[in-house]
Each structure stands twice: as structure tokens, then as C-alpha cells.
Amino acid sequence: MSNDTKQWFIRGLRDGLPIGLGYFAVAFALGIQASGAGMTALQSTLMSLFNLTSAGEAAAIALIGAGTTYVELAFTQLVINIRYLLMSCALSQKIAPDTSFLHRLLIGYGVTDEIFAVSMAVSDRLSPAYSYGAIAVAVPGWTLGTLLGAVLGNVLPARATGALGVALYAMFLAIILPPARKSKVIAGVVAISMLASALLTLAVERLSLTFLTEGFRIVLLTVLISAVAAWLFPVVAPHSEEVPS
């Protein structure tokens, strides 16, 4: 491993550590739900290892508990997780054009909301080693949290396990607040996004728009708000090839 690659990997580890801690807390509660739906600890653990999505797994657990078909389960996962397609497309613009297909596949495996956020915050051209560093702590945190939740979750009271999920929201705030404080445009986009998400969710509940699932709502708002922001406030920011210190 070259010195440059090592620096990128360590930086990914550093940025991924709080993500892994937040994932552990959320996945613990998820493991309890999986156990309640009749899934074994092994099944729950493998689900989290190969399907890194809280919303997708929560929906899958509910469907499995209800005895749904494989087709319905697969379609639900496609709808809920389609937002990762947009994230992967955005990340593909930050890595070097000559990045191998294998590296792209491995980076794509670890694309989650939080890893995407910290990756896009990197000002330089993104190295695969950075993604591997973040994945190296985030994925074990998510998987181990699910395992322990499935095995030991019933030991903790319901209030305690429910409170664990707050850690992930706190981590989101830690990601968006620093750039929002530096840029009025980013702060405005964040505020508008939060308001639009709340209003759309309320409209779905009041009008029974069941076809607008959580995954579709995220994709819809992401495309619309980002397109309008890019049109009104275009930014030209060439990538630097320098390796982070």
C-alpha cells in the first residue's frame, strides 16, 4: 500500500468512525425488530451485511413478518433504495475516470446516505481507499449492531432501544451544519429540503398517496431541489488531484 493510499484510507476511517457508531445504535433496534418478525440472528446479520439500508431493512422485516412473496419484497426494496442510484451517479463524478470496474463495484456496495454525505464533502478527487476506510468501520458497526440487537435486544427496555436511533439524526446534523454555516445557499437549500420533505410527507398521509413511498419521495425531492439550486446558483469547482494531509 502506497503512502498516498494509506493517507486516504486513514482519512476514510476517521470520517467513517462516527457513522459506524451511529449505525450500531440504529441497527441494534433493527435487530430487535427482525427477531420479533421471526428471523434468526444469522438471517438478521446477513441481511444487514448485504443490504445496507435502514428504511429498506425495516420494510423488509415488516413484509417478512407478514409473509409476503419474494416478488413483492424485491419490488419494495427497489423502490425504497432507488435513491442510491442517484448517489452512485454523483460519486462517480468524484473518482478518477480510470478507476477500475471492480473498485467502482466495491464503492457502490458501501454507498449509504451518510457515507455519501461525507464522501461528497471531500474537496479533492475521491480515492477508492477513502471509501474503503469509511466502509471498513461503517459496515461492521451496522452488522454487529443488528446481530447484538437480535440476540440481546430483549434485555433492554423499549424506551432505551428507541432512544438509540437519535444518534443517527445527530450525525446527520453534524454533517450538514458546517457547510451550511459557511454558505447561505447551502443553508437555504437544507432548510427548503427539510420543509419540502415535511410537507410532502404530510400530503401523502392526508391524501393517502400510498404510491409515493419514502424512497420515491427522496428521489423526487432530490432531483427537483438540486436541479433548481444548480440552475439558480451554478458552481464551477475543479477537482484537485492533491492527496489530503
Supply the pTM of this predicted model. 0.68
Domain boundaries, the chain: 3-175
pLDDT in tens, 56-103: 888 788 888 878 788 878 887 887 788 888 889 888 888 888 889 999
d(Cα 119, Cα 239) in Å, to the nearest integer? 13
d(Cα 134, Cα 136) in Å, to the nearest integer? 5
pLDDT in tens, 124-177: 788 899 999 999 999 999 999 999 988 886 676 666 666 665 655 665 676 677
- Using CA atoms, how far residue 24 sits from 9, 43, 240, in Å, is 21, 17, 34
What residues have CB less than 8 Å from 125, skipping those under 6 apart?
Answer: 94, 95, 96, 239, 240, 241
